[in-house]
């Protein structure tokens, strides 16, 4: 099999890795009541399984990226997938609450290695002019897990118990491992570099402003997604019947957005597409806020669906150009920079949940959209200044032929 064939298909195989990680991360939210009943704990206590995963991932991702930077990429990915499958299998067998939390911490540690490696491998295994498309494909794997992996996992949990869901994730991860082992080529790790040099590279303003943009972008984006139920109720008066289709619309639009923005990045550059995607998120969040304050709670559901589709396209679309920009700025420390950025994504998600909870209790769904708009404006200004100060072509160097086997 030619290296060209391997390279062209690599992003799709790596998207399966992102899908497995995203499903494992997000599906537990829908299983909390069942976990609480089975383990004889409160739902709030069960929810800490989500919290420890997010905190562990955010803190560990950049540290583990630096620690594993020189390891061969394919071997690291395959080892991580094998361990991830084993941890999910162990999660399905845990006897109690404490062991569940331990397994979620271990799963987060492995996920913190897998996701940045998948993104960086996708970029290195394609020609430079296809970098945006490659990282967009992997990002789409995460997005698809929201509206495909999570509902399927939740359905399995409701039919066969929450443990069956983690068993299914373990089996799927094993299948991804087999595909990756047979289809992905060997790829060297980063050249020898001192710890001080690596940390210094990650601490550059060009990198940190990208991470800040991701934190703010995730805060605004996930705030709307997290509180889509009260937003739907306040804008349309519709209840749970309309909610599932709207979530599906957001997820599908988000997947399309990551793919389209990835291709656009290859054509017009990461910086330009990144700013356009942030502008789109601001415009659609502002529209949602206006509908909330001016619509009198009688906005047609189809109107809300149309706006949410545009919002999902932009809110998820920024991931591809942001990743491509980081890879272009970070050079040989690309994986570490992506790890730091994915940690920022989890910080932003946590901020969205906490701040959005305060806003929705006092201002309702329209207030959530207005707050997301304000955060989006801050993100746009920060990234506009960053792009002007630290421009990039959005491309990364080609992978050397001698790194493939």
Question: pLDDT tens across 14-42, in order?
Answer: 999 999 998 998 788 778 788 888 999 88
Helix (H), strand (E) at residue 330: helix 319-330
CB 382 within 8 A of CB 212: yes
More confident residue, 303 or 190: 303
Percent of the chain past pLDDT 90, that is, above it, reads 36
What is the reported pTM? 0.75
Residues 6+ apart with CB under 8 A from 315: 217, 220, 221, 224, 225, 254, 257, 281, 284
pLDDT in tens, 190-235: 555 444 555 556 678 888 898 899 999 988 888 888 788 788 888 9
Burial class (CB in 10 A: 0-12, 13-18, 19+), 187: buried
Burial class (CB in 10 A: 0-12, 13-18, 19+), 40: exposed
CB 80 within 8 A of CB 112: no
Rounded distance, CA 375 to CA 217, Å? Answer: 7
Distance of CA 375 to the CA centre of its chain: 19
CATH topology for the 3-189 domain: Growth Hormone; Chain: A; (1.20.1250)
pLDDT at 399: 37
Average the pLDDT over 138-149 and give the result. 81
Rounded distance, CA 139 to CA 15, Å? Answer: 7
Confidence of residue 352 (pLDDT cuts 50, 70, 90): confident
Closest CA to 326 of 130, 135, 129: 135
Rounded distance, CA 150 to CA 53, Å? Answer: 16
pLDDT at 192: 52
pLDDT at 88: 97
> What ranges do the domains of the chain cover?
3-189, 198-389
Q: Please, what sign has the CA dihedral across residues 218, 220, 224, 227?
A: positive
Q: Do the domains spanning 3-189 and 198-389 agree at the CATH topology level?
A: yes
pLDDT at 63: 84
Tokens found for residue 108 = 């987060």
- Quick check: helix, strand or coil at residue 80? helix
- The CATH number of the domain covering residues in 198-389: 1.20.1250.20
């Amino acid at each position: 099999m030619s290296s060209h064939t391997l390279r062209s298909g690599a992003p799709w195989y790596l998207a399966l890795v992102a899908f497995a990680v995203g499903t494992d991360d997000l599906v537990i939210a829908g299983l909390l009541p069942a976990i609480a009943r089975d383990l004889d704990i409160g739902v709030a206590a069960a929810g800490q399984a989500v919290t420890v995963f997010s905190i562990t991932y955010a803190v560990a991702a950049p540290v583990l990226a630096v620690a594993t930077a020189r390891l061969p990429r394919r071997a690291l990915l395959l080892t991580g997938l094998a361990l991830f499958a084993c941890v999910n299998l162990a999660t399905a067998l845990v006897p109690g609450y404490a062991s569940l939390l331990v397994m979620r911490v271990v799963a987060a540690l492995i996920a913190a290695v897998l996701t940045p490696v998948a993104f960086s491998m996708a970029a290195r295994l394609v020609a430079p002019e296809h970098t945006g498309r490659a990282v967009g494909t992997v990002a789409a794997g995460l997005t698809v897990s929201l509206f495909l992996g999570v509902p399927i996992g939740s359905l399995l949990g409701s039919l066969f118990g929450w443990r069956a869901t983690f068993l299914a994730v373990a089996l799927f991860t094993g299948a991804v491992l087999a595909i990756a082992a047979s289809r992905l080529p060997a790829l060297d790790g980063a050249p020898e570099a001192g710890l001080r040099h690596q940390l210094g590279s990650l601490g550059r303003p060009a990198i940190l402003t990208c991470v800040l943009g991701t934190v703010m972008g995730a805060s605004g984006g996930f705030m709307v997604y997290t509180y889509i139920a009260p937003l739907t109720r306040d804008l349309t008066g519709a209840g749970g019947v309309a909610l599932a289709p709207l979530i599906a619309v957001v997820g599908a639009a988000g997947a399309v957005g990551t793919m389209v923005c990835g291709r656009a990045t290859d054509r017009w550059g990461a910086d330009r597409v990144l700013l356009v995607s942030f502008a789109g998120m601001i415009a659609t969040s502002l529209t949602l806020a206006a509908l909330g304050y001016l619509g009198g709670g009688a906005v047609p559901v189809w109107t809300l669906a149309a706006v949410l589709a545009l919002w999902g396209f932009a809110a998820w679309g920024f991931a591809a150009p942001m990743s491509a920009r980081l890879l272009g700025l970070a050079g040989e420390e690309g994986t570490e920079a992506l790890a730091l950025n994915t940690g920022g994504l989890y910080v932003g998600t946590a901020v969205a949940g906490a701040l959005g909870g305060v806003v929705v209790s006092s201002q309702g769904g329209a207030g959530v959209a207005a707050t997301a708009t304000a955060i989006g404006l801050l993100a746009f200004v920060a990234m506009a200044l960053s792009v002007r100060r630290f421009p990039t072509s959005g491309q990364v160097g080609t992978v050397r032929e001698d790194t493939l086997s």
